[in-house]
């Protein structure tokens, strides 16, 4: 096999045992890597109904055939598991030297199960794997853990760790790498914590088998140079995704006061241009020359790495207009190991619940000091923090009072940072995303505003499906960053050239789309299998707030989604996907994709 190492490392933490497992080439050709490998492993090896926080759940760190070979924007991995937050398929990607080192150690993925009897660090060095005592690190922040581990091991090792949020099983805890590269929104950090796994340290020195190493070297050099020629490159380096703050404000898409207003009267204070005045450096994933992490000094003088999502969820959505304060909350989120998007969603939910008198605690919008305290309470599950640590879906089920209408989530995952009162296509993207309400698979909202935002027509469905295949399928299976393509306009042909040099195979768009279809259908099957009797098409509908409560401010004030039209669009989406009226893949769809065996485990209602 060329392009892939052909091995997974299976780790059983209960038995302190690591076993390299060769896998068949057909797996690589049918699922590519990253999210594809993760979905296949979880489908094949997890029993239906597995408790996500039990030793039986698997935690997977998966790479792709372009990882670790020096290509631009390729230093990423996918972290996947059955999610404790949603109960369905969960994953996220993160930039980390661990991605590069897993491949150089001779593996395409780490597949971790079991539970260590006491806190451990998994240390992998090429073919060696040891289980080191982590008691001295348990309770430390993800930053502190990484600092200590980096001192102990060599400078170039890959380190992934969790903070107190993961240790304490907060349902939206992430795993963190390189002080700010946090991934695995649907509670991948809690799964790691449930296994008593504080950190993974990986060192690899081996070479990765490539079909055409000389061509790969040339393409790598050319690829980096090509990015420098893109007209948007220099502005991207200045602001990264932060320019989206202005765009969202202008287009009434800014999450504001728990997704009510669409615009924020203090938006200028959190904009990309304000950030530029505070910026001290750029940080980013390994092997990237368009690093997008904007490092600023926060209100306590510490470094915090900002991007659009974490900024707006921790500012406009909770009523804070001071970027230094937002930076502090964001840094706390990274140190504790929270997903900052869900954290902002949970805080916004708590403030609205407080405003409406549904909880006894008084949490005022924009109260920076109280919010800081509440974040720490969530990490340690104290008082109100214990309720919020379960996420907004569970919190709304507990407090009731009609809060289900404004618990802003899909399938249990808090909505990421775009208000969709007047963006039905993006609402459908959230509704049908592979992990719950996340924008990663199909960030179509800027396209939609140009394409006619009030339409609910087939063209939006077609664009959504195409985007999900490319971003949610191909990019997540390759585990490469989508920003060069998406934000700088790099031609997709580059990735096909990289793939040819790596694997020796020609991956046409048609072939890649078929692989993506296979992956996304398997993920949908996983959701249906795990939800079983509770599965319903209503799970693909975003919260009622967007349908019942019009935008309260700004030029689009009064706008609201139409539920009947949304459902018609959802029907069209299912039809295009080859799914039945309940959103379940049809037998013929699964058979066409070589997933006939999946049908026996699904009730095809």
Give contact residues for ligand SF4 (rule: CB under 6 A): 73, 95, 284-285, 288, 290-293, 481, 483
State in angstroms the smallest separation of the CB of 306 from ligand SF4. Answer: 12
3-state helix, strand, coil in the chain (%, to 5): 45, 15, 40
State in angstroms the smallest separation of the CB of 391 from ligand SF4. Answer: 25
State in angstroms the smallest separation of the CB of 234 from ligand SF4. Answer: 14
State in angstroms the smallest separation of the CB of 288 from ligand SF4. Answer: 3
Measured from the CB atom, the residue of 27 and 288 that comes closer to ligand SF4 is 288
3-state secondary structure of 142: helix
Chain centre distance of CA 488: 21
Q: Which residue is nearest to ligand SF4 (CB)?
A: 284
- For residues 41 and 62, give the distance between their C-alpha atoms in angstroms, rounded to a whole number: 11
Closest CA to 39 of 86, 103, 88: 88
Question: In this structure, how many other beta carbons lie within 10 angstroms of the beta carbon of residue 536?
Answer: 12
CB 211 within 8 A of CB 502: yes
Measured from the CB atom, the residue of 137 and 175 that comes closer to ligand SF4 is 175
∠ at Cα 399 (395, 403), nearest 5°? 80
Element (H, E) at 354: helix 340-355
- For residues 92 and 478, give the distance between their C-alpha atoms in angstroms, rounded to a whole number: 13
Measured from the CB atom, the residue of 114 and 223 that comes closer to ligand SF4 is 223
3-state secondary structure of 495: helix
Measured from the CB atom, the residue of 196 and 304 that comes closer to ligand SF4 is 304
State in angstroms the smallest separation of the CB of 435 from ligand SF4. Answer: 18
State in angstroms the smallest separation of the CB of 97 from ligand SF4. Answer: 12
State in angstroms the smallest separation of the CB of 185 from ligand SF4. Answer: 15
Residue that the structure tokens 């997008």 belong to: 292
Measured from the CB atom, the residue of 32 and 292 that comes closer to ligand SF4 is 292
State in angstroms the smallest separation of the CB of 566 from ligand SF4. Answer: 31
Measured from the CB atom, the residue of 300 and 491 that comes closer to ligand SF4 is 491
Element (H, E) at 94: strand 89-95
DSSP letters for 450-489: HH-TT---HHHHHHHHHHHIIIIIIIHHHT--SHHHHHS-
Measured from the CB atom, the residue of 287 and 559 that comes closer to ligand SF4 is 287
Question: In this structure, how many other beta carbons lie within 10 angstroms of the beta carbon of residue 189?
Answer: 37
Measured from the CB atom, the residue of 288 and 388 that comes closer to ligand SF4 is 288
- For residues 448 and 159, give the distance between their C-alpha atoms in angstroms, rounded to a whole number: 39
State in angstroms the smallest separation of the CB of 409 from ligand SF4. Answer: 24
Measured from the CB atom, the residue of 156 and 563 that comes closer to ligand SF4 is 156
Name the DSSP class of 13: T
């Amino acid at each position: 096999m060329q392009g892939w190492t052909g091995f997974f490392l299976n780790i059983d933490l209960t038995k302190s045992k690591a076993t390299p497992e060769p896998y068949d080439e057909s797996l690589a050709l049918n699922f590519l890597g990253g999210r594809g490998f993760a979905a296949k492993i979880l489908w094949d090896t997890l029993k239906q109904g597995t408790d996500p926080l039990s030793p039986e759940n698997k935690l997977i760190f998966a790479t792709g055939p372009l990882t670790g070979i020096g290509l631009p924007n390729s230093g990423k991995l996918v972290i996947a598991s059955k999610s404790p937050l949603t109960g369905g398929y969960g994953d996220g990607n993160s930039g980390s030297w661990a991605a590069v080192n897993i491949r150089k150690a001779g593996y395409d993925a780490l597949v971790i199960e079991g539970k260590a009897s006491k806190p451990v660090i998994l240390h992998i060095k090429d073919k060696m794997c040891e289980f080191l005592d982590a008691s001295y690190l348990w309770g430390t922040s993800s930053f502190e853990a990484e600092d200590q581990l980096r001192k102990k091991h060599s400078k170039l090792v890959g380190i992934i760790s969790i903070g107190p949020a993961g240790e304490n099983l907060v349902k939206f805890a992430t795993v963190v790498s390189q002080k700010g590269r946090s991934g695995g929104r649907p509670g991948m950090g809690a799964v790691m914590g449930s296994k008593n796994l504080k950190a993974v340290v990986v060192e690899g020195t081996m070479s990765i088998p490539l079909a055409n190493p000389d061509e790969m070297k040339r393409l790598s050099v050319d690829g980096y140079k090509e990015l420098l020629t893109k007209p948007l490159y220099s502005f991207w380096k200045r602001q990264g995704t932060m320019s989206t703050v202005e765009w969202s404000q202008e287009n009434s898409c800014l999450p504001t006061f728990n997704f009510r207003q669409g615009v924020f009267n203090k938006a200028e204070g959190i904009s990309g241009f304000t950030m530029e005045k505070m910026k001290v450096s750029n940080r980013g994933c390994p092997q990237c020359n368009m690093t997008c992490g904007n490092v600023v000094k926060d209100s306590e003088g510490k470094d915090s790495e900002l991007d659009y999502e974490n900024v707006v969820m921790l500012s406009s959505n909770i009523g804070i207009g001071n970027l230094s304060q937002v930076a502090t909350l964001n840094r706390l989120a990274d140190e504790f190991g929270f997903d900052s998007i869900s954290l902002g969603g949970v805080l916004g939910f708590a403030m609205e619940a407080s405003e409406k008198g549904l909880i006894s605690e008084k949490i005022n919008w924009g109260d920076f000091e109280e919010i800081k305290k509440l974040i720490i309470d969530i990490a340690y599950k104290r008082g109100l923090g214990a309720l919020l640590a379960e996420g907004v879906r569970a919190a709304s089920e507990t407090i009731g009072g009609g809060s289900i209408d404004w618990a802003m989530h899909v399938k249990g995952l808090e909505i990421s940072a775009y208000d969709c009162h007047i963006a039905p296509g993006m609402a459908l993207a959230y509704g049908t995303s592979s992990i719950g309400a996340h924008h990663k698979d199909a960030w179509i909202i800027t396209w939609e505003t140009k394409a006619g935002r009030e339409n609910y027509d087939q063209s939006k469905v077609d664009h959504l499906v195409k985007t999900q295949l490319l971003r949610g399928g191909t990019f997540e299976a390759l585990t490469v960053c989508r920003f060069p393509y998406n934000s700088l306009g790099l031609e997709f042909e580059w990735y096909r050239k990289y793939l040819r040099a790596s694997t020796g195979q020609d991956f046409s768009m048609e072939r890649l789309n078929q692989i993506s279809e296979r992956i996304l259908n398997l993920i949908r099957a996983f959701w249906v299998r795990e939800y079983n009797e509770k599965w319903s098409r209503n799970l693909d509908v975003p919260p009622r707030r967007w349908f019942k409560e019009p935008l309260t401010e700004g030029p689009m004030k009064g706008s609201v989604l139409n539920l009947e039209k949304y459902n018609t669009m959802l029907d069209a989406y299912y039809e295009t996907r080859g799914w039945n009226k309940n959103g379940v893949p049809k037998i013929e769809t699964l058979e066409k994709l070589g997933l006939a065996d999946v049908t026996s485990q699904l009730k095809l209602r």
